Amino acid sequence: MPAVTRRQFVSRSALAVTGASVGPRLAAATQPDPAELQARPPLIISTWPFGKPANDAALAVLLRGGSGLDAVEQGIRVTESDPDNASVGLGGIPNADGVVQLDACIMSGPGHRAGSVAAVSGFRHPISIARRVMETTRHVMLVGEGAEAFAAEAGFERGPRVSPKQKAAWQRWKKEQAAQAKAAGKHPNHDTIALLVLRADGAVFGGCSTSGWGYKIPGRVGDSPILGSGLYVDDEVGAAGATGVGENVMRHCGSFLVVELMRQGLHPQEACLEAIRRMARKDPLGFNLSVNFIALDRQGRFGAAGTGTGFQYAVTCESFSRVLQSPGLTSADIGPVGGNRK
């Protein structure tokens, strides 16, 4: 099955904002000056070009008086509802047994509340189930059959365990792959939607949703529903989200690290870059980690970064809605890798 090519896109969109500090040179820049990356809230950022419609929906919720959590949930539901998105929702690539297992989490800066679900099959909107876990239980995370039973009792919308398109692709994969492909080998590319919201009053919210690694071992859970890995929100500082190879993000608590670097005073974009540098220096994979981050702070500053050539992310406020290219990091940017030490 061919790899998703979103990572190869190059953003060519201009960004002109009234009342924000974004300069016209950003149109052609792949690594803009961080001082340009700021806008007046409400502000929404998300991973990948497919995040832009989600951002637009989230902003519409805020502008009609909805809450920050409403904005996160409704924005991510747009992506979860896209049958052509092979990375998020029931249109996603199934696991090795041909079943789509979905992961999601949501977090509120006010009250430092969170909810999460993992390895959920047969329900359309894991982000909504995660919010219900947060708001109606004493728990933070439900997984597998327990999460599905919770969703069924709450009356959440059901859906197929795999879409017809992805089932056909899975059947082809089964014929092409040897038995060891369940545990290792080449897999289709995959992405995640992480979506961060800065409300006009400075409150911060975030969510994350994915169908995970294509043809993964059943029950595998990546970083997306893990607080501090795929998503972290701190109302005193800001928020960060991740996309890429979840195992590599999880081992370093990547999104938490980005937020803590912002707490120390780094601009969100520099915090994303420094987090990747720090991860790569201690990891045997070095700059081959295949991880990407987005971040925003309470001041309305935002940014993103990734390994390799970087990746595209979506940014939306009342004055604009654009897809931008993030800077990337290579071995030359990272320096000596210490992960091979015993």
Q: What angle do CA 205, 59, 267 make, to 5 degrees?
A: 50
Q: 207 forms bridges with which residues in the sheet?
A: 106, 195
Q: From CA 251, how far away is CA 68, in angstroms rounded?
A: 29
Half-sphere exposure of 170 (CA within 13 A, CB side): 22
Residue 275 has a CB neighbour count (10 Å cut-off) of 29
| Radius of gyration, alpha carbons of the chain | 19
Q: What is the Cα–Cα distance from 60 to 335, expressed in whole angstroms?
A: 44
HSE (side-chain half, CA atoms, 13 Å) at 283 = 23
Is residue 192 annotated as part of the catalytic site, yes or no?
Answer: yes
Residue 10, Cβ density class (10 Å: 0-12 exposed, 13-18 middle, ≥19 buried): exposed
Token readout for 283 is 């990891």
- Could you say which of 79, 136, 137, 192 is catalytic? 192
321-325, strands of its sheet edge to edge: 141-143, 113-120, 102-108, 204-210, 193-198, 43-47, 312-317, 321-325
User: Annotated active-site positions, please?
Assistant: 192
